[in-house]
Amino acid sequence: MPSPAEQADLAKPLAAPDAGTPLAVPSILQLIGNTPLVELRHVRNDVAPGVRIFAKLEGFNPGGSVKDRPARKMIEDGLACGALVPGKVILDSTSGNTGIALAMIGAVLGYAVELVMPGNVSEERKRVVVAFGATPIYSDPLEGSDGAIVLCREILAQNPDRYFKPDQYFNEANPQAHFDTTGPEIWDQTNGTVTHFVAGLGTSGTIMGAGRYLKTRNPDIQIVAAEPDDAFHGLEGLKHMASSIVPGIYHEDELDQKLGIATDDAYNMVYRLGREEGLLVGQSCGAALVAALQIASGLTEGMIVVLFPDFGDRYLSTNLWLGWRNVG
């Protein structure tokens, strides 16, 4: 196991390199962040020419998702305050991506990781966490992410001294990671011209943190959340807040709008993104873009940044792709 000083150094965020500078780093964790924007030029429906839509591709993080950012921050804070020390096991509930990030970080820093996940998360996610050396614990698939939260709490209560629980739904380090990194990246990448930021609601850390930062730069920027339109949905990773355990980090009054997105609409958008933009993404990305296009339809000009949390290779075994060949 690396020493505490080495652990802190390995997890230290890396500044963006100067143009033309070869990138060589001592730790995979230093490649978290600085993800690209890509303009969506084909999946635009009837959006006015003066409205530009950019996707921020978080699948380029080394763990494959936006969750690398808060996972690193939560572990950094745990090390800094002494809550995470050698011998402790990292434990948290997850719908998949945060678990993958924690498993990757645990492997780099030398900590065992146990992850409570709904039993119906995609097969790809289950295999990835095991490949990183983590131990999965499956909760009732019918209870979704809330069931994983409850089971995780029970495991922690049985042996509190064994575990360090980042507690992504209630840890302010989650939105802080996005305030420190995601928000500033979007501002810089758009040269401060972003007018709308759209993201899905899971833990809510992304939209809370990035939204707060963007509001500090320009209070007129609109922060728009996308959530499933029903408690019974197929949008893995997203929460229907009215029917869920509401994360402690979620503050709905900080949103300018919240839009409910139908599962079928999100799925169809995923198919379109693959065929028309060459982007293979997951369900939550499709939902976020549906929301972004709803916003765009009412504008004559603007710059919308929509966050795509991951790529789609983690969902090829899910209902998203059952019968996809019949999609028109």
Please confirm, yes or no, whether 65 is among the known catalytic residues. no
Query: Which of 23-32's residues contact partners 24+ apart within 8 Å by CB, and which partners?
Result: 27/108, 28/62, 28/104, 28/108, 29/62, 29/72, 29/104, 29/105, 29/108, 31/61, 31/62, 32/61, 32/62, 32/63, 32/68, 32/69, 32/72
Angle in degrees, CA 307, 99, 134, rounded to 5: 150
Q: Which of 56, 67, 126, 165 is catalytic?
A: 67
Please confirm, yes or no, whether 215 is among the known catalytic residues. no
Which two three-digit tokens encode residue 133? 């050396």
Q: Which of 65, 145, 204, 284 is catalytic?
A: 284
* Residue among 124, 134, 146 at smallest CA distance from 203: 146
* Residue among 327, 152, 169 at smallest CA distance from 247: 169
Q: Which amino acid is at 20?
A: G
Residues with catalytic roles:
67, 284
